[in-house]
Amino acid sequence: MLNRYEPCGRYAAKLSGLYLGRRLLDLPTAAPRVYRLDAEKQGRELAREGVPVECAAAAVSLYAKACLLYFRTEDAQAETWRRVLARWASVYQFFLITGYRQQTAAERQELEEKVRCTERRFQALSSELGDAYEVERRRLAQDLHDEIGHDLIVLKLYTQIIGLDLKKGNIRQVRRKLKESISLIDHALQGVRHLVFDLGPAVWNEQGFIPAVQVYSRQFAGRTGIKVRFDARRLRAKLPARYETAIYKVLQGSLANIAAHSHARHVKIALSSRRDSIAMKVEDDGRGFDIEKKLGVASQSYGLRAMRDRIELLGGKIDFTSRRRRGAGAGTTVELQLPLREEPPGRSRDDE
């Protein structure tokens, strides 16, 4: 009978588990509370399985209708059973619907708790990112002061000395100081380039994201002696500006960890795109480390957690795997995936 009604027919197998006949026979002797709890439980189970409440109610009504065919006689016993059947169907429907409501309330409460947890996590992530930006700002200020600031102070002093030597006619000293000044200027320019490439976005407008990553990789290899192989041939999608920033920061963090801890000799960086995602993989052949142990200590996993939080805030995921064996097969892999969505019109890197 259910198969005649859409969409109830597709749920007939699940609704057959109601055991309506047994419940009808048990009704005169069943304890009311046990009967109610049992029916409500079935309502919750049907709701979890995705059976519409109207189909559950229809199943009870159709079963009652089918049973009425057996009570066509006009004797008193048949009339009593007809009334019992009508009451049973009504009460059973009520308890089933109550179970549905209980399940809906439980799901709503669970969803609200997930929303609260998400809000708390976002607040914590916002605080951590704020701390990260503050640490980055202080590091940048310290680098400017220690490297470029020092060079400029010495250069100013040399310029003053050159002026005094010119007045005295000491050309030999002037030549020496000019040569040293040029060296200071070269050192300062090199420091500026390092800071600019650490910042990343400042050079993208001129060179583009991929060339900027290539230059950064070459600079990393030149500074550390670690051979870097960069492959972006499978990257065919245009990256949203916010993805470029996140990927660049994760790459910086990964390479910094490799240089500081891994004792690696080779690094492979691969960028690729699929129809619905962007992926980056950074692999090294270093000595590896215990991922779980590292992440379990907050003070020792700030960089890894910052990478994870940055990617998860964009709806992506990042995995860290590491093997601590000696020789071939050892090393660490950082792999991230970001969902590829259409960039809102008018969005630019300046909005980040």
DSSP string, 203-231: HHHHH-HHHHHHHHHHHHHHHH--EEEEE
Determine the pLDDT at residue 269: 97
Determine the pLDDT at residue 344: 45
pLDDT 10s per residue in the chain (352 long)? 888 877 888 888 888 767 655 555 565 555 677 778 888 898 999 999 999 999 999 888 888 888 887 777 677 778 888 888 888 888 888 989 999 999 999 999 999 998 888 888 777 777 776 676 677 677 677 777 677 777 787 788 888 888 888 888 888 888 888 888 888 888 887 777 667 666 655 556 677 889 888 888 988 898 899 999 999 999 998 888 889 888 988 998 899 889 988 889 999 999 999 889 999 999 999 988 888 887 777 666 778 888 888 898 888 999 999 987 665 567 999 999 999 865 444 444 444 4
Q: How far apart, in whole angstroms, are the C-alpha atoms of residue 115 and residue 111?
A: 6
pTM over 0.75, yes/no: no
Determine the pLDDT at residue 348: 45
Determine the pLDDT at residue 158: 80
Determine the pLDDT at residue 325: 63
Q: How far apart, in whole angstroms, are the C-alpha atoms of residue 342 and residue 153?
A: 49
Q: How far apart, in whole angstroms, are the C-alpha atoms of residue 182 and residue 177?
A: 9
Q: How far apart, in whole angstroms, are the C-alpha atoms of residue 259 and residue 166?
A: 47
Question: What residues contact 228, with CB distance under 8 A and at least 6 apart?
Answer: 217, 218, 220, 221, 266, 267, 268, 269
Pick from 257, 252, 243: nearest CA to 338:
243
Termini Cα distance of the chain: 60
Determine the pLDDT at residue 233: 93
Q: How far apart, in whole angstroms, are the C-alpha atoms of residue 349 and residue 347?
A: 7
Task: Name the 3-class secondary structure at 69.
Answer: coil
Determine the pLDDT at residue 99: 92
Determine the pLDDT at residue 185: 85
Residue-wise over 61-89: b if at least 16 C-beta within 10 A, else e?
Answer: ebbbeebeeebeeeeeeeeebbeebeebb
